[in-house]
Amino acid sequence: MINLTIIDRDGSRQDLEIPEGINLSLMEVLKASEYDILATCGGMGICATCHVEVLEAPETLPPVNDTELDMLDTLPEAGPNSRLSCQLRVNETLEGAIFKIMGESN
Amino acid sequence: MITTDICIIGAGPVGLFAVFEAGLLKMRCHLIDALPQVGGQLSEIYPQKPIYDIPGFPAINAQDLVNNLLDQINPFHPTFTLGERVEKLERQEDGSYLVTSNENTEIHCQVVVIAAGLGSFEPRKPAVERLEDFEGKGVAYMVKNPELFRDKRIVLAGGGDSALDWTLFLSEIAKEVTLIHRGETFRGAPDSAEKVFAKAEQGQINLILNANVSALNGNGHLKEIAVVQKDKSVTNLDVDYFIPLFGLTPKLGPIADWNLAIDKSAIEVNTKDFMTNVERIYAIGDINTYPGKLKLILCGFHEAALMAQSAFKYVFPEQKLSFKYTTVNGIHAL
């Protein structure tokens, strides 16, 4: 199991246990967990509506790539710990991470 | 006024293929799209990316698919209004519709098909106090007519290519140009970033890094903006125009006000013919939702075919529709 903590826009906090090997993005996991994530582009990294802030990250968290940075740079409210949840694969590299949902709601 | 059988809102792949399916049934189509070219997301966002799930094409570049669709619908002579956004949809007494764009183009049609994909792309707005109060009164999200800014005091915000390019351009004609960016490096083209830094050093522009605009003030027109620095200190600047440039984000736009049933930014349809809750208005492709919906181009193509079969009864109420394969009848131009 991969353990993540999600903090919603209203501050509510939930621990998620995700089975290993599911090959989903964090955005897909959040949607499946019934969080209100717009994710308009369906995971292509072109709408930035699945924006999350990383509050705590393991050292293994994959770095931001150029394309993701380009998109994050268009977000007025993005900060140094911002990520697009559609660009993060849920696997052992995220173990223990704490994410805060930032993107637009439906 | 443009008169047609079907007005298709959105000229992406699904909207284009709807022309083909309508054309087989001798229905004429007019397409309208907010983007200046056809192809929707495919042409605008990922024209060179291969798509692998179009039947018959193991792989096809997005723009090639758009070009092929244009070839495929060419015999049916569709007409286009591009670069305009649909603003109004008015039902006429006889059940037909009058569609009006933001440029006042009017399209009279028997059936409306919304194939708007992600919706229309609108400027992303920063969280700035009183921003919307000054829209059109000092706040602009794009530079349509640079002459408006001649000899004025301009503040731009953003760190991408648009912010850099317009800073450089406006610095040549404005009285004073300030660029505010929340970071200290730019993601835009390195050459543009270098020019901005050089102009800042020469005193030709004011460059404020690690800062954000937090509030706007004025009386009828923008007069002053508040800039908050990383250390939380606030500085006020006298300005005539504020131009936040943070890219575009897809929104439903005016579609949200047409009394259509909407669930999570998508239009609810039935799966019999993909009509919305309003008669003669259909929604196909990524813009719609129903149980089991998959946002795939090929699903949109299927939806277009069923929509056309259903729309026929409104366009030709006196005729009986009999289904025919193209392999039997071929393609007969309108």
- Would you state the pLDDT for residue B267? 96
Task: Note the pLDDT of residue B258.
Answer: 93
What percentage of chain B reaches a pLDDT higher than 90? 78
Q: Enter the tokens of residue A57.
A: 């990250």
Contact B247 A49 (CB under 8 A): no
pLDDT at B6: 98
**pLDDT in the model for residue B276:** 98
Sheet holding A13-18, edge to edge: A13-18, A2-7, A98-101, A51-56, A82-84
**Token duo for residue B279:** 């008669």
- Structure confidence by residue, pLDDT tens digits, B141-172: 988 789 999 999 999 999 888 899 999 999 99
Say whether A48 and B249 touch across the interface (CB within 8 A). Answer: yes
Per-residue pLDDT at A104 exceeds 90: no
Contact predicate B42/B68, CB 8 Å: no
Per-residue model confidence (pLDDT) at position B330: 86
Q: Hey, where are the domains in chain A?
A: 2-101
Spatial neighbors of B236 by CB under 8 A, at least 6 apart, are B217, B224, B225, B226, B227
pLDDT at B121 over 80: no
pLDDT grade for A23, boundaries at 50, 70 and 90:
confident
- What is the bridge-based pairing of β-strands A2-7 and A98-101? parallel
- Are the beta carbons of A46 and B124 separated by less than 8 Å? no
Which of B157, B212, B249 lies at the smallest CB-CB distance from A49?
A: B249
Cα dihedral B268, B269, B270, B272, rounded to 10, equals: -160
Q: Cα angle vertex B106, ends B100, B111, to 5°? A: 80
pLDDT above 90 (res B252): no
Please state which of the four CATH numbers 3.50.50.60, 3.40.120.10, 3.40.47.10, 1.10.3720.10 is assigned to the domain occupying B2-122+249-329: 3.50.50.60
**Amino acid at site B284:** I
ipTM for this prediction: 0.74
Return all residues near B178 (Cβ < 8 A) that are at least 6 apart. Answer: B153, B154, B155, B156, B205, B206, B207, B208, B237, B239
Mean pLDDT of chain B: 94
| Domain spans in chain B, listed from the N-terminal domain onward | 2-122+249-329, 125-246
Q: Are A18 and A31 in contact (CB under 8 A)?
A: no
User: Residue B248: what pLDDT?
Assistant: 78
Question: What is residue B281's predicted lDDT score, i.e. its pLDDT?
Answer: 98
Instruction: Tell me if A47 and B127 make a contact (CB, 8 A cut-off).
Output: no
CATH architecture of A2-101: Roll (3.10)
pLDDT tens, position by position, B276-294: 999 999 999 999 999 999 9
Of B46, B160, B286, the CB nearest to A74: B160
Q: Which fold has domain B125-246?
A: FAD/NAD(P)-binding domain (3.50.50)
Give B41's contacts in chain A (Cβ within 8 Å).
Answer: 41, 46
Residues of B with CB under 8 A from a CB of A: 41, 45-46, 118-119, 124-127, 157-160, 182-183, 187, 212, 244, 246-247, 249-250, 264-265, 286, 295
User: What digits encode the pLDDT tens for the residues A52-94?
Assistant: 999 999 999 999 988 888 888 888 888 889 999 999 999 999 9
